Amino acid sequence: MGKDKIVLAYSGGLDTSVILKWLCEKGFEVIAYVANVGQQDDFEQIEQKALKTGATKVYVEDLRKEFVTDFIFIALMGNAIYEGRYLLGTSLARPLIAKKQVEIAKMEKAEYVAHGATGKGNDQVRFELTYAALAPHLKVISPWKDPQFLEQFKGRTDLINYAKQKGIPVKASVEKPYSEDENLMHISHEAGKLEDPSQQADETVFNRTISPKQTPDEETFLEIHFKNGIPTKVLNLNNGVYKEDPLEMFEYLNEIGAQNGVGRVDMVENRFIGIKSRGVYETPGATILWVAHRDLEGIAMDKEVMHLRDMLAPKFSELIYNGFWFSPEMDFLLAAFKKSQEAIDGKVIVSIYKGSVMPVARFSPTSLYDQALSSMDVEGGFNAVDSKGFINIHSIRLKAHNLVLKEKDPFAWRKGIIDG
Ligand SMILES: Nc1ncnc2c1ncn2[C@@H]1O[C@H](COP(=O)(O)OP(=O)(O)O)[C@@H](O)[C@H]1O
Ligand SMILES: [Mg+2]
């Protein structure tokens, strides 16, 4: 009988290299799979390392375009933002990496998949829920939750010693004293020296964006076009450069954002498993897109649709964060969000300057904005005398409240609301 095949999500780092070897020693035929989601890696070198470590085959998959069109742009429809600040760069990449891994397992007729995410974080959940949703028959090996593996590898030193013993190359360069996850959308920095949330991350931590203190003294004006809420074109009004291909466009937004110090976030967030965690993020291009898209909705989206969608956005973000990208509730939300974007057409001009992104003008063929109606100067389209009735009707309930509670002076308690 042949060996069982396993597809390992392989990043080329120390952990997944040790895992690769460990799986070989457990008797698996290991197929290594490396996703290119836009991280700065030498894929040729990673491929060689996987083969040298014992993989029988290596898949290197360029997922960058799909990441932009089928993940980032979809998140944008719902203005996804976790706990008001995190744009979900890692959360969005994980289901994509896992989806391709499942496809490879199917192609290879492998019954097993493995990943090297730790047992304390969000990523293990994101990988394994995606496997469950897309290929429930697959068996999952997650070494960082495997008692045998944990017994053998109690810390980094064990990993390094094992690697040396097995002839796995260990990078001689000094490791950063914190961990990073990088893709096209963002780079995150966490753990290690960043664990103390009272300590400011020093400038050396940031490696995608230039400090706003060092950015150009001139504003950059970008014109960003949308159709059905999806970005279709970016035009730099300072120099005429424009991009229409989704990947090129997104890379260009990253470039402009990075040059201008856009998209830095330093926060303490709630992980799915209930642990609080400090994260420092750099998300330049997406930050620009999120601001521009939101602004176009201001002019082109129906009020009630917007308010409803906005109520659902925190739930949407939580689902992405928690790993439920492929789930029935996500399908339900996406159907509604897609509908909400039908009239989000037009363009927004944003001014980018020293870390800030500010919409300064917007145009839409489906604009609901009526200058005559909203103008303070023009009388027209609407009889101001009608507002009398509008206010009268809204007053009924408030008057009743006051009359019923008159004896008690219903709002008197607010005088003590602050000092108790
Ligand atoms: N680019 C990638 N291609 C394939 N799998 C990946 C990639 N990035 C991360 N993974 C998988 O996700 C797990 C968790 O990722 P991460 O915490 O970033 O660990 P690592 O230090 O190995 O990059 C990895 O152990 C690996 O299984
Ligand atoms: Mg990584």
User: Does residue 129 register a pLDDT over 90?
Assistant: yes
405 located within any domain: yes
Distance 12 CA to ligand 1 centre (A): 8
Whether ligand 1 lies within 6 angstroms of the CB of 35 is answered as: yes
Q: Could you tell me the CATH number of the domain that includes residue 95?
A: 3.40.50.620
User: In this structure, are residues 19 and 143 in contact, taking their beta carbons and an 8 Å threshold?
Assistant: yes
Give me the domain span that covers residue 259: 180-301+343-363
pLDDT at residue 175, as a whole number? 77
148 located within any domain: yes
CA 397 to chain centre: 43
Asked whether residue 157 falls in the same domain as residue 196, the answer is no
User: In this structure, are residues 363 and 223 in contact, taking their beta carbons and an 8 Å threshold?
Assistant: no
307 located within any domain: no
Asked whether residue 42 falls in the same domain as residue 65, the answer is yes
pLDDT at residue 172, as a whole number? 64
104 located within any domain: yes
Asked whether residue 355 falls in the same domain as residue 408, the answer is no
386 located within any domain: yes
Give the predicted TM-score (pTM) of the model.
0.96
**Which residue puts its alpha carbon closest to atom 27 of ligand 1?**
115
Nearest atom (ligand 1) to Cα of 9: 5
Handedness of CA 408, 412, 417, 420 (dihedral sign): negative
> Which of 175, 193, 219 is a domain's end point?
175
Tell me the percentage of the chain whose pLDDT exceeds 70. 98
Distance 123 CA to ligand 1 centre (A): 9
Whether ligand 1 lies within 6 angstroms of the CB of 183 is answered as: no
Asked whether residue 266 falls in the same domain as residue 405, the answer is no
Say whether 269 sits in a helix, a strand or coil: strand
CA distance linking residue 318 with residue 320, whole number of Å: 5
Mean pLDDT to the nearest integer, 205-226? 98
Whether ligand 1 lies within 6 angstroms of the CB of 34 is answered as: yes
Nearest atom (ligand 1) to Cα of 36: 1
**Which residue puts its alpha carbon closest to atom 17 of ligand 1?**
117
pLDDT at residue 420, as a whole number? 58
Q: Could you tell me the CATH number of the domain that includes residue 203?
A: 3.90.1260.10
Whether ligand 1 lies within 6 angstroms of the CB of 210 is answered as: no
Asked whether residue 224 falls in the same domain as residue 242, the answer is yes
Sequence-ordered list of residues with C-beta below 8 angstroms from that of 56, at least 6 positions apart, any chain: 29, 30, 31
Whether ligand 1 lies within 6 angstroms of the CB of 188 is answered as: no
pLDDT at residue 378, as a whole number? 66
Asked whether residue 226 falls in the same domain as residue 294, the answer is yes
| Catalytic residue positions, numbered | 15, 94, 123, 179
Distance 136 CA to ligand 2 centre (A): 25
Asked whether residue 141 falls in the same domain as residue 208, the answer is no
375 located within any domain: no
Distance 11 CA to ligand 1 centre (A): 5
Asked whether residue 215 falls in the same domain as residue 128, the answer is no
> Which of 108, 142, 175 is a domain's end point?
175
Whether ligand 1 lies within 6 angstroms of the CB of 15 is answered as: yes
Asked whether residue 44 falls in the same domain as residue 27, the answer is yes
Instruction: Please list the alpha-helical segments (H only) found in 301-419.
Output: 303-322, 328-340, 371-374, 386-404
Say whether 253 sits in a helix, a strand or coil: helix
Asked whether residue 82 falls in the same domain as residue 206, the answer is no
DSSP 8-state class, residue 71: I
Mean pLDDT to the nearest integer, 231-250? 98
266 located within any domain: yes
User: Does residue 194 register a pLDDT over 80?
Assistant: yes
- Backbone dihedral angles phi then psi of residue 101, each to the nearest 5 degrees: -60, -40
Distance 270 CA to ligand 2 centre (A): 20
Asked whether residue 166 falls in the same domain as residue 185, the answer is no
Asked whether residue 121 falls in the same domain as residue 205, the answer is no
50 located within any domain: yes
Mean pLDDT to the nearest integer, 298-319? 98
> Which of 175, 190, 222 is a domain's end point?
175
The domain tally of the chain equals 3
pLDDT digits (tens, 9 = 90+) for 322-354: 999 999 999 999 999 999 999 999 999 999 999
